[in-house]
Chains A and B, each alone.
Chain A
């Protein structure tokens, strides 16, 4: 017998991590309570550990060869597919953003729409960034010489807090459109849209491990990410100046490229995680 709407108990979501295409809980078994804008308990997402981070790095490194070798057209279509999926899930994300950030329906809706459009913008860059940032170089001699940007490898992202979805999507899309793989640590206070967005990524033909999402404490994860020898770069936009300095010091171990961004929509979001390769070849018969 069906229950009436007033009798029905909601089925709540368990917010888990997203590593290697799967949704595991933290190996540590830890969770933390996320509050809504009024201070009421909302959910118990995972409090990711050092081991979770290391697992995420393994997944990201394993995914790098195939993702960076995929055609730019293919990567662009997958980012566009993510935009399609996000559009369809808008309502759920609007609800989460309102609950967490305490913004109006209008503002939350605009944030989701802007996030969709930002994904479309970055999708379009995948097969254009090398045209804009690359060059043929007129060297003085019988050589053909060209420079082209290549993805740097594995990037750890500490996403900035509010607007939570827009910051998350903007940081992520810029990093992966060029062929990098990523570990993204969601905002500690506003992590739910990141996990819901992981469900979008899981259904967008994005290969497993290209993006790995951790929730928890940036303060706890910064030293491990910054000293990890298989992470090539860090987007530190979500870190405090104290955490940034800590990351810079630990990052010296393998001379990580550590960047801070103030805009979600900027080609630097892509180019800062690319390396320029220059190739020389003689011309002759």
Chain B
């Protein structure tokens, strides 16, 4: 076999200017934190510190909530809806203009391949603002009555796996519906949110409509528990989602929760196998498997198990792991040392419980956090790697004989975020889709996202939807 080596094709970092330290963005200005504290954010691909970021304490959060309240009652709720929409259009346009800068910064801070931040995260973030901008003056068609009302001040807490995209999923519908926000990015990936603050300034968004407070779990808890918050929107683990649900019990606060998943990806024996193999790879190795809706449980019909596994291993051997800034890279760095430790712990448990591990042959860089794409075969439903969210590039393979068994195994989880089904037979695809207890079903595809498409889970994968009319409605209340 001839060998074609890929020459490195590095994306330049010259387009981004990273400051030494970042302050909080409150009431339209960058302000020093009352806590006086800053924490480092690193590049997970080389463990070097990129910048220091302010840590907001409860006083800072209170200031941000007050700014959001003031902006809500004095400016944002009084502005004609069409004018409000124009600000979102402006933001969408500026995100498009500065897309490359955002993509590079995202890859530096998060570790994801530039191919994904450039082609998926940032374009989709801009699309979310453009989509929701057009909703701002059409809210009476959102399905929440003739005169829907915003909640007021929304507290938004987002994860580290798609930092800028999750910001867009949260901020765009909140602003379009007339709410103002206090947003906290994840502590390992604050930088694109802080660059977004600059976009708000460039768009001349009224002060206080968007406030960004950085910090870790304690800062998030301060937002959740603040009496001035009318609604919480959270994306993250089911564990933290449940803490939030407990915290707001007995209050009038609304909530949408986008939580964990353990999605089944079902391959029937009448699937187009080569396409299915691409779908399996995309389902679990996209974004290093740091995806709540990842297809982390592969359910293969028993009679094609060997053929699928053989092709999957060949395909996985061609996955390129390495420098996230290299345009050829498929798998970048694991986001943090803590996440890498969690992946390793579950992988060890997989072996200890009797599943067989196979990892793609690839060289892991010396510095940074890395994990080779890995599959486990011989997995049973009781294994931890079949039940718990690994949130890494690790696939558990199970088999089934009948379609009924496939559905039963797929639904045998407290989660219900997404599922995949592969078959060339239309009636079987729809039969499966109607029986899978999950909010998003990818049929003969996987991991597709769009602002017009509602996303969110059944069961313990959360409350509510984001995207589309359904996601918009989650930011509105009927006026009666």
| CB-CB contacts below 8 Å: B215-270 with A | 238, 241-242, 245-246, 249-250, 257, 259
Chain A residues closer than 8 Å to B143, beta-carbon distance: 132-133
| CB-CB contacts below 8 Å: A16-67 with B | none
Given the known inter-chain contacts A147-B470, A245-B250, A249-B249, please indicate yes or no for A280 contacting B439, CB distance below 8 A: no
Cβ A241 vs Cβ B250 within 8 A: yes
A279 within 8 A of B: yes
| CB-CB contacts below 8 Å: B383-401 with A | none
| CB-CB contacts below 8 Å: B356-370 with A | none
Given the known inter-chain contacts A254-B459, A254-B460, A276-B439, please indicate yes or no for A137 contacting B444, CB distance below 8 A: no
CA distance in complex: A166, B259 (Å): 37
Chain A contact-residue range equals 20 to 34
Cβ B250 vs Cβ A278 within 8 A: no
Chain B residues closer than 8 Å to A232, beta-carbon distance: 459
Chain B residues closer than 8 Å to A145, beta-carbon distance: 450, 452-453
CA distance in complex: A275, B468 (Å): 14
A5 within 8 A of B: no
| CB-CB contacts below 8 Å: A271-285 with B | 275-282
Interface of A is mostly: mixed
B445 within 8 A of A: yes
Chain A residues closer than 8 Å to B442, beta-carbon distance: 280
Cβ A143 vs Cβ B454 within 8 A: no
Cβ A245 vs Cβ B456 within 8 A: no
A255 within 8 A of B: yes
Chain B residues closer than 8 Å to A257, beta-carbon distance: 463
Given the known inter-chain contacts A133-B143, A254-B414, please indicate yes or no for A281 contacting B445, CB distance below 8 A: yes
A-B pairs with CB below 8 Å: how many? 99
Given the known inter-chain contacts A135-B469, A137-B454, A280-B440, please indicate yes or no for A248 contacting B257, CB distance below 8 A: no
B455 within 8 A of A: yes
A12 within 8 A of B: no
Closest-CB distance, B127 to chain A (whole angstroms)? 7
User: Most B CB atoms within 10 A — which of A137, A244, A253, A278?
Assistant: A278
Chain A residues closer than 8 Å to B259, beta-carbon distance: 255
CA distance in complex: A277, B435 (Å): 11
CA distance in complex: A25, B442 (Å): 47
Chain A residues closer than 8 Å to B456, beta-carbon distance: 276
Cβ B441 vs Cβ A248 within 8 A: no
CA distance in complex: A137, B445 (Å): 16
Cβ B470 vs Cβ A280 within 8 A: no
Cβ A278 vs Cβ B439 within 8 A: yes
Given the known inter-chain contacts A133-B143, A255-B459, A278-B440, please indicate yes or no for A141 contacting B448, CB distance below 8 A: yes
A88 within 8 A of B: no
Chain B residues closer than 8 Å to A135, beta-carbon distance: 468-470
CA distance in complex: A279, B454 (Å): 10
B324 within 8 A of A: no
Mask, A131-161, CB within 8 Å of B = 1, is 0110101111101010100001000000000
Chain A residues closer than 8 Å to B468, beta-carbon distance: 135, 137, 147, 278
Partner of A279, one of B242, B441, B452, B455: B441
Partner of B452, one of A139, A244, A251: A139
B443 within 8 A of A: yes
Chain B residues closer than 8 Å to A132, beta-carbon distance: 143
Nearest residue (CB) in A for B249 is A248
B150 within 8 A of A: no
Cβ A244 vs Cβ B460 within 8 A: no
CA distance in complex: A249, B247 (Å): 9
Closest-CB distance, A191 to chain B (whole angstroms)? 27
Given the known inter-chain contacts A255-B460, A282-B445, please indicate yes or no for A140 contacting B429, CB distance below 8 A: no
Cβ B441 vs Cβ A255 within 8 A: no
Given the known inter-chain contacts A241-B250, A255-B463, please indicate yes or no for A280 contacting B445, CB distance below 8 A: yes
B438 within 8 A of A: yes
CA distance in complex: A254, B438 (Å): 15
Cβ B246 vs Cβ A252 within 8 A: yes
Partner of B450, one of A141, A152, A279: A141
B304 within 8 A of A: no
Nearest residue (CB) in B for A132 is B143
Cβ A139 vs Cβ B448 within 8 A: yes
Mask, A70-81, CB within 8 Å of B = 1, is 000000000000
Closest-CB distance, A220 to chain B (whole angstroms)? 20
CA distance in complex: A281, B432 (Å): 13
Chain A residues closer than 8 Å to B445, beta-carbon distance: 143, 280-282
B465 within 8 A of A: yes
Cβ B439 vs Cβ A137 within 8 A: no
User: Most B CB atoms within 10 A — which of A244, A255, A268, A281?
Assistant: A255
Cβ B470 vs Cβ A282 within 8 A: no
Nearest residue (CB) in B for A136 is B452
Given the known inter-chain contacts A140-B127, A244-B250, A252-B249, please indicate yes or no for A278 contacting B443, CB distance below 8 A: no
CA distance in complex: A66, B452 (Å): 32
11 A-B residue pairings within 8 Å (CB atoms): A137-B450, A141-B450, A251-B245, A255-B459, A255-B462, A275-B439, A276-B439, A277-B439, A278-B454, A278-B468, A279-B441
Known: A147-B453, A255-B238. 6 other contacts (CB 8 A): A135-B470, A255-B245, A255-B259, A276-B439, A276-B454, A280-B443
10 nearest CB pairs, A to B: A245-B250, A248-B249, A139-B450, A137-B452, A281-B443, A279-B441, A252-B245, A249-B249, A137-B453, A279-B433
